[in-house]
Structure 1
């Protein structure tokens, strides 16, 4: 406050420096919040992808189990030879 009241070259220089520092701080804070928001978006996307991957692996496991179990023999329809 004193640097803005005084009228010397040094006071003007100090006042300019203070204003520059506060503007840089404000810019840094806004930049960091933007980065933080972007990180949150990426986290949400990755959470959704993890859930989707779990579903895919679950279906793959079910298919593998289905292949491991042999199908019961099917009953023939139509013409049946005498030897069966």
Structure 2
């Protein structure tokens, strides 16, 4: 199973990268109700930072974004469960088939790849910020040098003292 396919299923909810139960069920090749049932049988393994159920608002927003079936037309009766990376890892202990283990390995690779991409983007952003700072300091230095050159070019001629004795009569 390609990591790219799994990466497209990963969503950002509540500030965390998660996979929905329906997407996981497709990946594992089991019905969604069977996956949720297995999780409910082992609920102690899935604290809130591993898995959470979407609120009505989150589900409505997600439904409009993913263009899934409307309520009352044969769609889901309950809000989906969202599994974090740790929750997906815990699923491997609940779903014990060889296919589930292979899929779980690929999902973990997808999460790692996304984390690496985010880290490289952060490094790139940091380097760009440093470059901007250097350019700003260089620009200020160049402006200072140009101002000094202009001052040297437009220096007034020094006053020459008249030859001989002059008396200052204004005093």
Scaled by the length of structure 2, the TM-score of the pair is 0.39
Compare relative contact order (CA 8 Å, sep 6+) and give the higher one, 1 or 2. Answer: 2
Q: State which structure, 1 or 2, has the greater radius of gyration over its C-alpha atoms.
A: 1
In terms of fraction of residues, the more strand-rich structure is 2
Which contiguous aligned blocks of 4+ residues in structure 1 show a shift greater than 6 angstroms? none
Scaled by the length of structure 1, the TM-score of the pair is 0.74
Q: In the comparison of the two structures, how many residue pairs are matched?
A: 75
| Runs of at least 5 residues in structure 2 that lack an aligned partner in the other structure | 1-23, 29-91, 165-171
Secondary structure in structure 1 of the residue aligned to 2:154: helix
Partner of 1:81: none
| Runs of at least 5 residues in structure 1 that lack an aligned partner in the other structure | 78-84
Aligned partner (choices 142, 148, 151) of residue 59 of structure 1: 148
Instruction: Measure how far apart 1:33 and its partner are.
Output: 0.6
Q: Take 2:98 and 2:161, find their aligned partners in 1: how far apart are those partners? A: 101
In terms of fraction of residues, the more helix-rich structure is 1
Q: CA RMSD in A?
A: 2.0
Instruction: Measure how far apart 1:75 and its partner are.
Output: 4.7
Partner of 1:50: 139
